[in-house]
Chains A and B, each alone.
Chain A
């Protein structure tokens, strides 16, 4: 189907199913219960899951296939966001032109940076991209304040000279991004029993783009072009001796992944019309590297899983404060309760980075293929035959 092999098509169907039913899957606990704390099915986080999924899928096309580790991908995400917000300010509040422009601008930007950076490979390439991203961040933060809004970020204002559409709504507010009148923030809430499921328009738009992005990634992975990229990863020198010039291929992969990042940036701005310079900081670039490695570099579904995992930690674990912990362990005797809370507290709440760091270490040490490899190992426990199938398939083969 759709030019995919059966196995890949099944994977695509799984991804489509997961994204369509995310509002149910992410809200397994009834509203008001103790465990509702762990529900992730609210629009902001669901949007983040799919948007960072797109970002990580794009990053994986470069890193997973060619092995070029870019430490500056957040710059493309940031540029995409700025482009989208400017589109809202100047053209119209419709998200489609904004997303389109952000992909184009990020593509052009990555073409320039890629052209320079790809003259080197390995660590030098990583450092070059890191330097470019930090330059972009510094520029956006201070020098380019008229264009980027500096520290405050680029925001919409009541006085925006919008060509199509109103500058302000009838009630005197700034209009919100919409898809032909369908506001990105509008949601349908469904109350069943104790559960509350939220279906958000912006989420489904972002999910649609992620499915398309995922499909394109599969096609790239399975194409002769993808094969060429893999060849670059395994031995670039040998390729050069056979008379093939690797640069155009790596540059193409770089620009494609830059455009993915731009798409993610444009979607982020569409869900929440603000573009801040922090999006381009090196920590943001590092985050996508973590997502990809955590999920499994070079696999199709891995980066999406990694992105989901990191965003879940960032948004759910960081909100558990000591009061909540004391609530949980209230059944213990007083002295013991304090000790238990004191032991757990450093790892959650504001200490979520610590937990994430430990998990990342464990994954890298014991599951070099990321969460995907973990899944395969689990599957292998239950059926030997299936596990053999899995290892044969290139779809789930971990990165070297």
Chain B
């Protein structure tokens, strides 16, 4: 069916059209109006809340979104002001950010890097968001952080625990308030040694992805430094829902501690399986068999139910903390939604406040000014005690909580009890610690 008619006229015509099409893009220039991307107008400023609303971390995402809405309310002067009154920096006065009313847009990350980036790009390109925050998994956080660096937008990470977010994949425009795998390991190891002794043999079950690896490495190196031995480390697929086949060999492996480097639904299932197999009552090497969960969250504890009783783990924040900041936040969150906030909600709320505060102190929305204001910023009153936003890797350094599942919880929110507040000195590390090597912060990018 070829009826080619390559006449001279036809070829010329096509050539003209094609070259015009090719030449067209060269006339396009990015507009450079204000020195940085999405400079807000005089009346309002738009923040982008990019959280998982569907998928395995939807529960956390929903709680994060509640916290963001609360933060926006407080920034605009509504509600009871929450942590604004306890925050050591008094730059924020409830009139929005730099006199502009705070508006927000939301998006669904689906806990997938691609979807998260698409959602973040639409916030930047369509809605004109000046800052993106959120995320409930490290893969997503790292992907969105890189995007924000390219686009010249500030990224305030939500719940992301992998070392890489402020290690291998750190970016100048990205900041993390949440703690990380290394800190979990460093905080947990002494408590474990004190409770279970220093001659334990550990068996690791590790979720087969980036966060699992860094957590396993962190817990291994911290516990081995105190005399523990690692018998075996088995990787489990992220999509696994039944862990029986992974748990069955544990008892005969010679190990007497099981470390579950799992998060979310993985952890709920693996812990339930382990308890069903009778590991809690079992004896090995003449000692009681123990289970450890490096990263705990209330939402996970609720999913696992009674299985969490007596099991150690670490957490970034817990609503039962007695300092003024935590109490103020728990009170205003509880008043608005009727139940206490999770650690994911806390870190997201704090990140929004920290951003607003940095902008106000810098007197500009320019990302480079914000980066400068946040780097090496010391603050208090946001629930974790005195905290430092380290300039070398944009990681917050603060006390870490070691928690244990309550034996007799009074209600469905009162599932964890704080065993120890590990002081910040014990979890601080060098910026070029081996677990964090291989990345470079680069310089801040203000975009257009």
B107 adjacent to A318 (CB under 8 Å):
yes
The minimal Cβ–Cβ distance linking A178 to chain B, given in whole angstroms, is 11
A198 to B210, CA, bound (A): 37
Judge if B121 is at the interface, Cβ distance under 8 Å: yes
Judge if B105 is at the interface, Cβ distance under 8 Å: yes
Q: Nearest residue in A to B112 (C-beta to C-beta)?
A: A278
Known: A158-B442, A186-B28, A276-B112. A1 touches B138 (CB 8 A): no
A314 to B54, CA, bound (A): 12
> Chain B residues with Cβ under 8 A from A2's Cβ?
4, 10, 14
B122 adjacent to A315 (CB under 8 Å):
yes
A152 adjacent to B138 (CB under 8 Å):
yes
Q: Nearest residue in B to A200 (C-beta to C-beta)?
A: B28
A383 to B241, CA, bound (A): 57
A176 to B142, CA, bound (A): 17
> Chain B residues with Cβ under 8 A from A208's Cβ?
21-22
Most chain A CB atoms below 10 A, which of B108, B115, B147, B438: B108
Interface 1/0 per residue, A129-148 and B, CB below 8 Å: 00000000010011001000
A318 to B61, CA, bound (A): 15
A375 to B41, CA, bound (A): 43
A274 adjacent to B440 (CB under 8 Å):
no
How many B residues have CB within 8 A of the partner chain?
59
Known: A152-B113, A172-B442, A182-B25. A142 touches B208 (CB 8 A): yes
Q: Nearest residue in A to B443 (C-beta to C-beta)?
A: A172
> Chain B residues with Cβ under 8 A from A198's Cβ?
125
Known: A151-B139, A222-B1, A276-B113. A142 touches B24 (CB 8 A): no
> Chain A residues with Cβ under 8 A from B31's Cβ?
187-189
> Chain B residues with Cβ under 8 A from A295's Cβ?
none
A381 to B83, CA, bound (A): 63
Interface 1/0 per residue, A262-282 and B, CB below 8 Å: 000000000011101011000
Judge if B106 is at the interface, Cβ distance under 8 Å: yes
The minimal Cβ–Cβ distance linking A8 to chain B, given in whole angstroms, is 10
The minimal Cβ–Cβ distance linking B30 to chain A, given in whole angstroms, is 4
The minimal Cβ–Cβ distance linking A327 to chain B, given in whole angstroms, is 12
Judge if A390 is at the interface, Cβ distance under 8 Å: no
> Chain B residues with Cβ under 8 A from A48's Cβ?
118
B3 adjacent to A44 (CB under 8 Å):
no
A188 to B113, CA, bound (A): 27
Interface 1/0 per residue, A195-230 and B, CB below 8 Å: 000111100110010000000000000111000000
Q: Which residues from 136 to 187 on chain A have a C-beta closer than 8 Å to any C-beta of chain B? A: 138, 141-142, 145, 150-153, 155-159, 168, 171-174, 176, 179, 182-183, 185-187
Q: Nearest residue in A to B33 (C-beta to C-beta)?
A: A189
Known: A151-B138, A151-B139. A319 touches B210 (CB 8 A): no
B25 adjacent to A152 (CB under 8 Å):
no
> Chain A residues with Cβ under 8 A from B150's Cβ?
173-174, 176, 185, 273
Judge if A121 is at the interface, Cβ distance under 8 Å: no
- Partner of B125 from the list A44, A179, A188, A350 (CB cut-off 8 Å) is A44
> Chain B residues with Cβ under 8 A from A151's Cβ?
138-139, 209-211, 238
Judge if B237 is at the interface, Cβ distance under 8 Å: yes
A231 to B69, CA, bound (A): 59
A24 to B400, CA, bound (A): 53
A232 to B209, CA, bound (A): 43
A188 adjacent to B27 (CB under 8 Å):
yes
The minimal Cβ–Cβ distance linking B106 to chain A, given in whole angstroms, is 5
Q: Nearest residue in B to A203 (C-beta to C-beta)?
A: B25
> Chain B residues with Cβ under 8 A from A155's Cβ?
142-143, 146, 169
Q: Nearest residue in A to B447 (C-beta to C-beta)?
A: A185
Judge if A58 is at the interface, Cβ distance under 8 Å: no
A276 adjacent to B209 (CB under 8 Å):
no
Known: A152-B210, A182-B26. A141 touches B118 (CB 8 A): no
Q: Nearest residue in B to A142 (C-beta to C-beta)?
A: B208
Judge if A42 is at the interface, Cβ distance under 8 Å: yes
Q: Which residues from 1 to 46 on chain B have a C-beta closer than 8 Å to any C-beta of chain A? A: 1-5, 10, 14, 21-22, 24-31
> Chain B residues with Cβ under 8 A from A138's Cβ?
237
A156 to B150, CA, bound (A): 11
Q: Which residues from 423 to 442 on chain B have a C-beta closer than 8 Å to any C-beta of chain A? A: 438-440, 442
A273 to B169, CA, bound (A): 15
B439 adjacent to A157 (CB under 8 Å):
yes
B122 adjacent to A171 (CB under 8 Å):
no
> Chain A residues with Cβ under 8 A from B125's Cβ?
42-44, 198
Judge if A349 is at the interface, Cβ distance under 8 Å: yes
Judge if B216 is at the interface, Cβ distance under 8 Å: no
Q: Nearest residue in A to B125 (C-beta to C-beta)?
A: A42
A273 to B209, CA, bound (A): 21
The minimal Cβ–Cβ distance linking A352 to chain B, given in whole angstroms, is 9
The minimal Cβ–Cβ distance linking B118 to chain A, given in whole angstroms, is 6
A157 adjacent to B143 (CB under 8 Å):
no
A278 to B137, CA, bound (A): 14
Interface 1/0 per residue, A316-349 and B, CB below 8 Å: 0011010000000000000000000000000001
B139 adjacent to A3 (CB under 8 Å):
no
The minimal Cβ–Cβ distance linking A208 to chain B, given in whole angstroms, is 6
A350 adjacent to B53 (CB under 8 Å):
yes
B2 adjacent to A3 (CB under 8 Å):
yes
A200 to B124, CA, bound (A): 14
> Chain A residues with Cβ under 8 A from B29's Cβ?
186, 188
Q: Which residues from 162 to 199 on chain B have a C-beta closer than 8 Å to any C-beta of chain A? A: 164, 169
Q: State the 6 A-B residue pairs at the shortest beta-carbon distance, nearest first.
A: A172-B443, A151-B209, A44-B121, A276-B113, A188-B28, A350-B53
Can you list 12 A-B pairs with a CB-CB distance of less than 8 A?
A3-B4, A155-B169, A157-B439, A173-B150, A173-B442, A173-B445, A174-B149, A176-B150, A199-B28, A200-B28, A272-B147, A276-B114
Q: Which residues of B contact A (CB under 8 A)?
A: 1-5, 10, 14, 21-22, 24-31, 53-54, 58, 105-108, 112-115, 117-119, 121-122, 125-126, 138-139, 142-143, 146-147, 149-151, 164, 169, 208-211, 235, 237-238, 438-440, 442-443, 445
Q: Which residues of A contact B (CB under 8 A)?
A: 1-3, 5, 20, 39, 42-45, 48, 138, 141-142, 145, 150-153, 155-159, 168, 171-174, 176, 179, 182-183, 185-189, 198-201, 204-205, 208, 222-224, 272-274, 276, 278-279, 314-315, 318-319, 321, 349-350, 353
New A-B pairs, 16, CB < 8 Å, besides A142-B235, A353-B54 = A1-B5, A3-B5, A42-B122, A43-B125, A141-B208, A153-B142, A156-B146, A173-B150, A173-B443, A186-B30, A201-B28, A274-B113, A276-B139, A318-B107, A319-B105, A319-B108
